Amino acid sequence: MAPDLRPLPVTHAPLRRLPQLFAGLALYGTSMAMQIRGGLGLNPWDVLHQGLATRLPISFGAITAVTGVAVLLLWIPLRQRPGIGTLANVVVIAFAVDAALALLPAPTGLVPRLAMMAGGIVLNGVASAAYVGARLGPGPRDGLMTGFAARTGRSIRLVRTAIEIVVLGTGWLLGGTVGVGTVLYALAIGPLTQLFLPLFVVREPEPVRTA
């Protein structure tokens, strides 16, 4: 049975959930940097971010933050409500990816690049499970997907596919990197996240028993 990922109040187990959220987001930004340094293809949203970064005089992390804010504005007509995890997603990932890009050298040779790409994808699955499992609110892009699905009555799979095709195509036209890493990410990220979720998902608080 799929785990319940609906947001919980911040007051429930904050000493576990808040560190898990921020660590997961920091690792997510690091995984993005690893895939960028691998240079073999990015996930659809990062293809868009990279394409925009080639045309705007700001860092990759700043691009992700600006895009996240723009996506949040689309939540308004969809009647989506952000949580602390939503806002943290915008800020923490932006700083983390820029810091990791500053520290990680670009590998030379195909084997090191493949290793960097594969490690980034696996770490992305761990990080996604950690921040989603904290149940403190969806990321801007996840909320856009669920909001469109709720408003249109279409399936999550169809809405996600449509959004990512548009995002990927736009990013590619702007000069973002599409390659084997893009395909591998698309195939692997769902199973990886599902694999790691049981390790991180926070359960509902136990009901108070009355005599």
Nearest to residue 46, comparing CAs of 117, 105, 109, 115? 117
Which band of pLDDT confidence, cut at 50, 70 and 90, is reported for residue 175? very high
C-beta of residue 85 within 8 angstroms of C-beta of residue 143: no
Q: What is the pLDDT of residue 3?
A: 72
Q: What is the pLDDT of residues 39-85, one digit of tens each?
A: 999 999 999 999 999 999 999 999 999 999 999 999 888 888 888 99
pLDDT in tens, 117-165: 999 999 999 999 999 889 998 889 888 888 888 788 887 778 888 988 9
Residue whose pair of structure tokens reads 């599902």 in the numeric block: 194
The 10s digit of each residue's pLDDT in 93-119 is 999 999 999 999 989 999 999 999 999
- Cα separation, 41 vs 159, in Å, equals 23
Q: Which residues of 145-184 are buried (b: 16+ CB within 10 A; e: fewer)?
A: bebbbeeeeeeeeebbeebbeebbeebbebebbbeebbeb
pLDDT of amino acid 114: 96
Q: What is the pLDDT of residue 82?
A: 87
Q: What is the 3-state secondary structure (H, E, C) of 142-208?
A: HHHHHHHHHHHCCCHHHHHHHHHHHHHHHHHHHCCCCCHHHHHHHHHHHHHHHHHHHHHCCCCCCCC
- Reported as a pLDDT band with limits 50, 70 and 90, residue 1 is low
Band (178; pLDDT cuts 50, 70, 90): very high
Q: Is the pLDDT of residue 211 over 60?
A: no
For residue 105, give every residue at least 6 positions away whose Cβ sits within 8 Å of its Cβ, in sequence order, or none.
Answer: 37
pLDDT at 36: 95
**What's the mean pLDDT when you consider all of the chain?**
90
- The per-residue pLDDT for 73 is 92
